[in-house]
Amino acid sequence: MSERRLLIDIEVLELLRTLRSAEQRDLLQRFRAIGAAPDRFADYLESGAAGREVQVHIFGRFAIKYWDDFADRHVKILDLHPADRRSG
């Protein structure tokens, strides 16, 4: 069992409220799964605003950016936006 705390940026929550209830439910379930095992979900890494690496997970039509703050035992959902499927 993970002792990590899941923290979600307020802008992510505001976007979540605009989605269909099924998408909201699926995304919240995925956020919880990421919070429990963040190392299992990273599809690629990006450099974040503070210069640290953040993980990006593609889930359906969305990209979820998160950071496993190991020292504080937090998993932080930083951003949710449409996934760009044009690259690759």
Regarding pTM above 0.85, the answer is yes
Q: Is 87 part of any domain?
A: no
Q: How many domains are there within the chain?
A: 1
- As a dihedral over the C-alpha atoms of residue 10, residue 11, residue 13, residue 19, rounded to 10 degrees, the angle is 170
CATH number, position 55: 3.30.2310.20
Q: Are strands 74-82 and 62-69 parallel, antiparallel or unpaired?
A: antiparallel
Is there a domain that residue 50 lies in? yes
Instruction: Judge whether 88 lies within some domain.
Output: no
The domain in which residue 17 lies consists of 5-82
Model confidence pLDDT, tens digit, residues 11-68: 999 999 999 999 999 999 999 999 999 999 999 999 877 788 999 999 999 999 999 9
